[in-house]
């Protein structure tokens, strides 16, 4: 009985020992896992801190290096800008010196400013004179055209009066232009009274005197015209007979000219010849000729000196 009891107790002891050992093993494994987790976390924190420290130091090194490179590049840019500014300043000063020298050389050896100014003033005065002459010529031509138009119209009226002389009014018939209902006679009626009837001849076409409106040598042979500058008319309106010029006993020294030729000569206007007496580049041409003359004289003197030296 005692043996059986001891065996049962031994079995229970073994079971309890096995259970406690397994429980302890489980606790040890749990503690081991917890220690491993704590160690891994701590090592991770150390590594992260070390990496962060390295990163900060790398950032500081990169910042210093980049600042150094930027400052060196900026120094190069400043040097280049200063060099460009200095060259621009030197170029501007050289241009100013060249401009002053060229102006001085041109004013002294090429042409004179005051001579050019006086030349331009003379040209302006000549232009003003030419304009005034042209205005006078235009006014004269306008008056001439007006006078020729009046003469042409008067000649046409006189020619028409000669053609319509049969319509002159008489005591029995008042006529076409002398209507009894008019207070005063018509202009054509007065013209018909002053002209004398004569069979008109045919006008010469394309005649210069006829184109100008003045009677030429081939004009119709009418005794008088109203308002003609070469015919004297009576002052009294009642008399229709013209006053004849006095008979000259002395013979003229030369052959008489036609009245149309005399009137054309009287209306003739001389044409103005408008031109400049001096050219615009006269001063430069004279200076160039003088310069060429001086050069030729200098070369001749050098050649003469060389010949004299060779002769000696």
Asked if residue 197 and residue 141 are part of one domain, the reply reads yes
Asked if residue 150 and residue 195 are part of one domain, the reply reads yes
Q: How many whole angstroms separate alpha carbon 222 and alpha carbon 162?
A: 8
Asked if residue 207 and residue 133 are part of one domain, the reply reads yes
What contacts 270, CB < 8 A, 6 or more positions away?
A: none
Question: Does 101 map to a domain?
Answer: yes
Q: What confidence score (pLDDT) does residue 296 get?
A: 79
Asked if residue 106 and residue 158 are part of one domain, the reply reads no
Asked if residue 93 and residue 132 are part of one domain, the reply reads no
Asked if residue 134 and residue 170 are part of one domain, the reply reads yes
Residue 261 has pLDDT above 90, yes or no: no
Question: Does 24 map to a domain?
Answer: no
Residue 231 has pLDDT above 60, yes or no: no
- For 88, the domain range is 82-111
Burial class of residue 151 in the structure, from the number of CB atoms within 10 Å of its CB (0-12 exposed, 13-18 middle, 19+ buried): buried
Q: How many whole angstroms separate alpha carbon 196 and alpha carbon 279?
A: 62
Question: Does 157 map to a domain?
Answer: yes
Structural domain ending residue among the three candidates 216, 250, 268: 216
Residue 86 has pLDDT above 90, yes or no: yes
Question: Does 198 map to a domain?
Answer: yes
Give pTM, 2 decimals: 0.30
Asked if residue 150 and residue 87 are part of one domain, the reply reads no
The count of structural domains within the chain is 2
Q: How many whole angstroms separate alpha carbon 26 and alpha carbon 220?
A: 163
Asked if residue 89 and residue 126 are part of one domain, the reply reads no
Question: Does 187 map to a domain?
Answer: yes
Q: How many whole angstroms separate alpha carbon 162 and alpha carbon 227?
A: 15
Structural domain ending residue among the three candidates 111, 131, 151: 111
Contact 195, 163 (CB under 8 A): no
Asked if residue 127 and residue 93 are part of one domain, the reply reads no
Structural domain ending residue among the three candidates 179, 196, 216: 216
Closest CA to 157 of 195, 205, 131: 195
Residue 279 has pLDDT above 70, yes or no: no
pLDDT digits (tens, 9 = 90+) for 284-293: 777 788 778 7
Question: Does 258 map to a domain?
Answer: no
Asked if residue 105 and residue 147 are part of one domain, the reply reads no
Q: How many whole angstroms separate alpha carbon 68 and alpha carbon 77?
A: 14
Asked if residue 102 and residue 137 are part of one domain, the reply reads no
What contacts 153, CB < 8 A, 6 or more positions away?
A: 213
Question: Does 270 map to a domain?
Answer: no
Q: What confidence score (pLDDT) does residue 88 get?
A: 95
Q: What confidence score (pLDDT) does residue 211 get?
A: 40
Q: What confidence score (pLDDT) does residue 161 get?
A: 83
Average pLDDT in the chain: 76
Which structure tokens are listed for 284? 């430069």
Residue 58: band (very low, low, confident or very high) from pLDDT cuts 50, 70, 90: very high
pLDDT digits (tens, 9 = 90+) for 121-134: 999 999 999 999 99
Question: Does 238 map to a domain?
Answer: no
Q: In the 3-class helix/strand/coil scheme, how is the chain assigned residue by residue?
A: CHHHHHHHHHHHHHHHHHHHHHHHHHHHHHHHHHHHHHHHHHHHHHHHHHHHHHHHHHHHHHHHHHHHHHHHHHHHHHHHHHHHHHHHHHHHHHHHHHHHHHHHHHHHHHCCHHHHHHHHHHHHHHHHHHHHHHHHHHHHHHHHHHHHHHHHHHHHHHHHHHHCHHHCCCCCCCCCCCCCCCCCCCHHHHHHHHCCCCCCCCCCCCCHHHHHCCCCCCCCCCCCCCCCCCCCCCCCCCCCCCCCCCCCCCCCCCCCCCHHHHHHHHHCCCCCCCCCCCCCCHHHHHHHHHHHHHHHHHHHHHHHHHHHHHHC
Asked if residue 127 and residue 105 are part of one domain, the reply reads no
Q: How many whole angstroms separate alpha carbon 157 and alpha carbon 165?
A: 12
Give the residue-averaged pLDDT of 208-236.
Answer: 41
């Amino acid at each position: 009985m005692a043996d059986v009891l001891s065996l049962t107790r031994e079995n229970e002891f073994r079971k309890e020992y096995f259970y406690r050992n397994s429980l302890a093993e489980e606790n040890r494994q749990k503690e081991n896992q917890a220690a491993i987790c704590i160690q891994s976390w701590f090592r991770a924190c150390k590594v992260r801190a070390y990496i962060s420290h390295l990163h900060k130091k790398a950032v500081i090194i990169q910042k210093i290096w980049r600042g150094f490179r930027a400052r060196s590049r900026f120094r190069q840019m400043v040097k280049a800008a200063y060099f460009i500014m200095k060259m621009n300043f030197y170029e501007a000063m050289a241009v100013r010196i060249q401009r002053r020298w060229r102006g001085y050389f041109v004013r002294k050896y090429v042409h004179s400013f005051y001579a050019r100014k006086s030349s331009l003033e003379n040209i302006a005065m000549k232009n003003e004179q030419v304009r005034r002459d042209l205005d006078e010529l235009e006014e004269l031509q306008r008056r001439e055209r007006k006078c020729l138009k009046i003469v042409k119209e008067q000649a046409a009226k006189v020619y028409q009066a000669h053609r319509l002389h049969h319509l002159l009014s008489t005591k029995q018939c008042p006529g076409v232009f002398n209507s009894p209902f008019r207070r005063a006679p018509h202009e054509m009626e007065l013209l018909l009274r002053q002209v004398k009837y004569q069979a008109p001849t045919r006008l010469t076409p394309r005649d210069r005197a006829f184109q100008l409106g003045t009677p030429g040598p081939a004009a119709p042979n009418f005794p008088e015209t109203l308002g003609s500058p070469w015919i004297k008319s009576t002052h009294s309106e009642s008399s229709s007979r013209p006053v004849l010029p006095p008979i000259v006993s002395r013979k003229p020294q030369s052959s008489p000219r036609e009245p149309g030729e005399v009137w054309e000569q009287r209306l003739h206007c001389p044409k103005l010849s408008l031109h400049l007496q001096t050219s615009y580049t006269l001063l430069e041409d004279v200076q160039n000729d003088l310069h060429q003359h001086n050069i030729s004289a200098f070369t001749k003197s050098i050649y003469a000196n060389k010949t004299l030296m060779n002769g000696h």
